[in-house]
Every structure is written in structure tokens, then in C-alpha cells.
Amino acid sequence: MNIFKTKSLKKTLQISYIFLIGIMIVPTVYSVIVTQVHTQQYNNIITNVSNANKINQIAKKDIPNELWEIVCGKKEFSSSRQNEMLDTIYFEITDMQRNSKNRKNHEKLEVAYRAYTTLRKNIEKLELQIKDGTSVTQNEASLDEIRTITALFSDIMQDFILSEIETANETNRSIKKSSIILSILQIIIVLFSFAVSLNGYVTVSNKIHKPLADMKQLSTEISHGNLLARTKVPDVEELMPLARNMNFMAEQIDILFRKNMEEQKNFQKAEVKALQAQITPHFLYNTFDTIIWLAEEEETDKVVNITKAFSEFLRISLSRGHEWITVQQELDHIRNYLKIQKIRYNDILNYEISVSPELENFKIIKLVLQPLVENAIYHGIKNKRGRGNLKVTAEYKSDEKDAIIFTVEDDGAGFTKERLDQVNQEMNNGSEDAENLSSVYGLYNVNKKLKLYYGERTEGLKIESELGKGSKISFEIPCIDDFAE
């Protein structure tokens, strides 16, 4: 029996309604399952990359430095931290093996574990040599061998990180493929709805022709991408469920599209945060080194000042997890950063921050100025002979007072036109290999962050530079009084 040729219009519509609900469940379930799988994959990859970077730093720098101080006689094995560091490497490798689902990556981690085992044995050997009173020359030779092993371990970790990034690319391709499949399913739903409407038009009398024509128009608009379209519920009792369910279907499709877009946006935000967390670890190390050096020189006032500035710098960086802070907090953040750098580079750095007080309460996405200031110091002023000057300004774009322009300007080394073109290209387009962005990494991250959070309301970073005369980096954002995160 053909269910669409039944004499009962009510029964025909009821059966059609069941089909509609059934087919709508398919893309919903598919989307939920695929999203869960891909989210877990990305979380594992991000965790593995973060852990690999962490133990790579420990193996490449921290352990050799710790052992060098022991060989030099500055420390004893009993008071050193090398065993704690080795335990950290072991636990992180174990955690990465548990998270990694890629066979090739598992093999790399097995090699890394063997290198770790060799490293531990050589450290234990060095400890026995020192206890037995072996000569400094022999101890230094053993230390050189340990450094060779840590260099090998570092290479393995770098290879693992690149492999994990490739795994992320494969996951991204899988997401795109899933999106295509979901789109096909949604098109099938639209076509099926259109078929139901056409069948009703042929089946029923002229009395209900107009309501069916309206529903046909609705399905046509949906097929053309107008997911906000809705149909008026007719007064015909048998057609009421169909009209209501078609409206519900359009709403669900709209929700699915919006949900998919939001998930993509959330992934981009997570990627930015992962990048942000790795921007300037050397600044932290240098700051701690400076505090130690000042303490050794008994520069008490400077120790207090730099510690206060560093504490405030970290407090604003964390911001209790908030992404939006006030302009005043953002400027305080770079003031503290510059206080620290001023103590470190007193002979080469002068700075000035100029901002109107009426701008200070506007909201801004956090941590966009500090990378620009850091770039000006490390790639501009430090490469210039003599003292350099740095100026940070914030002002209204126009008399309408609807946008703010931030500028970071230095009189440092500057760029040639060719280098400036290269920097702009890398900053806007990125690179498949993140290591190739080392000189513009902070600029690339800030530019990407501005466009992600402000969209079309900002053009991103603008760079002006002339060799030997300095550089100026600026960006424009809308005035925002408040933002609900």
C-alpha cells in the first residue's frame, strides 16, 4: 500500500510527520557524535603539544644547566632538582602515550622514552663519578655526553610536535568532510519536505490549496538558505501539524548551522589561547634572572619594584580567565612590562604612554598591546646603537568617538621595504610551519586575535617602518562599554 495515496489526508500528514522527525534526527545525532570525537581529538593534540614543549625545555636547558652547576661545584647532587625533572619527563611521556592515537606518534614516544632512559643512566653514572672523586675533566666529558643525549631528545620532541600538528590537520580535514556530509543530509531534508508539500497540493481540494502553496514557498526559501523563513499555520485542522512541524524543521536546521559556526569559532579561540600561552616564556625566565641578579647585588629597592611590577603583570595576564578587560588594565599591563624592561635595559630604553582618561573604561580584548611593545624592544630598539625611545598612545579615531586607535612607535632599527613586505605577508597569511614565524610570531597572534574577536569592525594591525628611523604599529577597535563573556 502506498502511504501517500491514502484517502485520509490526516493519516497521510501524520505518516509524513513521522518521516520528517526521523530524518531530522539523523543529522542531529551525526553532528553531536562527530563534534564529540573531534573535540576530544583536538584536546588530546593540544595537551600533547603543550607537554612536549614543556619536557623539551626541561631536557634541553634545565637539566644540563643543573648538572653544570653540580660539576662546577656550585651545588651538590643531594640538593639538586635533576631527579624531579626526570620524573616530570617520565610522567609527561606516559601521559602523551595515553593521549596519542596515532601509531607513528606512539613510535616516536617510544624512541623518546629510550632516550630518557639513557639520559637517566648517564646522570646516575655522573653522580657515581663525582662521589668517587673523578677528575673535573672526566666529569665534563660525561656532561658533554649528557648534553648530546638531551639534544637528541629535543629533536625527537620537535619531530613529535610536528607530527601532532599534522594529526591536527588530518582532524581538520575530517571536520570539513563531516560538514559536507551534514550539508547533504540537510539538503535531503529540504527536498523531502518539498516532496511532502507537493503531494499535499495534489491530494487536497482548492480549499487548502493556498496553505499548501505557502508551505511550498517555505521549503523553497529554505533550499535557498533563508533559514528564518516561516509559514502561517492554516485553519485547516489536518494541515496544522504539518505547518507547525515544517516551521520546527526550519528552526532546527538554523540551530544546527549556528551551532556548527559557534563550534568553529570556539576552536579558533582555543587555538589562539594555546598560541598565547607560548608567546614569551623567555620573558618570564629573564625576569626571574634579573630579580636574582638584583638580589645578589643587594639592590633592594629595585627588587621590590620589579617584583611588584611582575606580580601585577601576571595578575592582569590571568584576569581570572576573562578575555575582556578595560583599556586602563591593558595599559597598566604594559606599564608593568615596561617597568621590568626599563630595569633590565636602563641604558638603552626610554618610554612614554599617552592616553586620554576618558578612554580608560572602555573594554578591550586582553593582551594585544604587550606583544607589540615587546616586538618594538626586541626587533627595534635592541638592534639600534645608543638609547631608544618607545611611545604608546591611545586616542579617538574621529570626533564621532566610536572607535579607538592604539599606536606603538619606536625609533629603533626599522625595516627595509622588502623586509616590511615579508613581515606583512607572514603576519596576515601565517605559515604551515610555526617556526618560520619566529620573528613575527607575536604580531601574527595579535592580528589573528583582533580579527577573531572584532571581525569586520577592525582591519587588524598596520605596520609602517623605515630602515634606520624606526617603526610604528597601530590598530583600530570599536568603543565598547561592556561585554558579556
pLDDT at 355 > cutoff 80: yes
Q: Between 336 and 270, name the one with better pLDDT.
A: 336
In this prediction, residue 72 carries a pLDDT of 83
pLDDT at 274: 46
Q: Return the C-alpha cell found at 212.
A: 499548501
Is 6 a residue whose pLDDT tops 50? no
Is residue 433 pLDDT above 60, yes or no?
Answer: no
Is 13 in contact with 242 (CB distance < 8 Å)? yes
- Reading phi first (left if > 0) and then psi (alpha if -120 to 50, else beta), residue 367 is in left
Would you state the pLDDT for residue 472? 94
Confidence class for position 263, pLDDT limits 50, 70, 90: low
Q: Per-residue pLDDT tens for 74-100?
A: 888 777 788 888 888 889 888 888 888
3-state secondary structure the chain: CCHHHCCCHHHHHHHHHHHHHHHHHHHHHHHHHHHHHHHHHHHHHHHHHHHHHHHHHHHHHHHHHHHHHHHCCCCCHHHCCHHHHHHHHHHHHHHHHHHCCCHHHHHHHHHHHHHHHHHHHHHHHHHHHHHCCCCHHHHHHHHHHHHHHHHHHHHHHHHHHHHHHHHHHHHHHHHHHHHHHHHHHHHHHHHHHHHHHHHHHHHCCHHHHHHHHHHHHHHHHHHCCCCCCCCCCCCCHHHHHHHHHHHHHHHHHHHHHHHHHHHHHHHHHHHHHHHHCCCCHHHHHHHHHHHHHHHHCCCHHHHHHHHHHHHHHHHHHHHHHCCEEEHHHHHHHHHHHHHHHHHHCCCCEEEEEEECHHHCCCEEECCCCHHHHHHHHHHHHCCCCCCEEEEEEEEECCCCCCEEEEEEEECCCCCCHHHHHHHHHHHHHCCCCHHHHCCCHHHHHHHHHHHHHHHHHCCCCEEEEECCCEEEEEEEEECCCCCCC
pLDDT of 112 strictly over 50: yes
Instruction: Write down the pTM of the prediction.
Output: 0.44
Q: How confident is the model at residue 352 (pLDDT cuts 50, 70, 90)?
A: very high
Q: How confident is the model at residue 362 (pLDDT cuts 50, 70, 90)?
A: very high
Residue 8's pLDDT is what?
Answer: 46
Q: Which residues contact 279 (CB under 8 A, 6 or more apart)?
A: 371, 441, 442, 445
The yes-or-no verdict on residue 477 having pLDDT over 60 is yes
pLDDT at 434: 45
pLDDT over 80 (residue 186): no
Question: To 10 degrees, what angle do helices 63-71 and 82-99 make?
Answer: 160
305 CB contacts (<8 Å, ≥6 apart)? Answer: 339, 343
Residue-averaged pLDDT of the chain = 78
Do the beta carbons of residue 52 and residue 88 sit within 8 Å? Answer: no
Checking if the pLDDT of 427 tops 70, the result is yes
Contacts 24+ apart (CB under 8 A), 422-427: 423/463, 424/463, 427/461, 427/463
Q: What is the pLDDT of residue 439?
A: 61
Report whether 375 contacts 442 (CB < 8 A).
yes
436 pLDDT tier (thresholds 50, 70, 90): low
Pairing of strands 363-365, 388-396: unpaired
**pLDDT score for 280:** 57
CB 242 within 8 A of CB 198: no
For 151-171, what is each residue's pLDDT tens digit? 888 888 888 888 888 887 877
pLDDT exceeds cutoff 90 at 44: no
Tens digit of each residue's pLDDT (9 = 90 or more) over 383-425: 888 888 999 999 998 888 889 999 999 998 888 889 888 888 8
Q: What pLDDT score was predicted for residue 478?
A: 92
Using a pLDDT cut of 70, give the percent of the chain over it: 80
Count of alpha carbons within 13 Å of 419, Cβ hemisphere only? 12
Q: What is the pLDDT of residues 46-55, one digit of tens each?
A: 888 888 888 8
pLDDT band at 288; cut points 50, 70, 90: confident
User: For residue 38, what pLDDT is reported?
Assistant: 72
Query: For the chain, how big is the Rg over CA atoms in Å?
Result: 31
Phi and psi at residue 272, to the nearest 5°: -65, -45
Instruction: Summarize the confidence of residues 304-324 as an average pLDDT.
Output: 74
Grid cell, residue 236, equals: 485547516
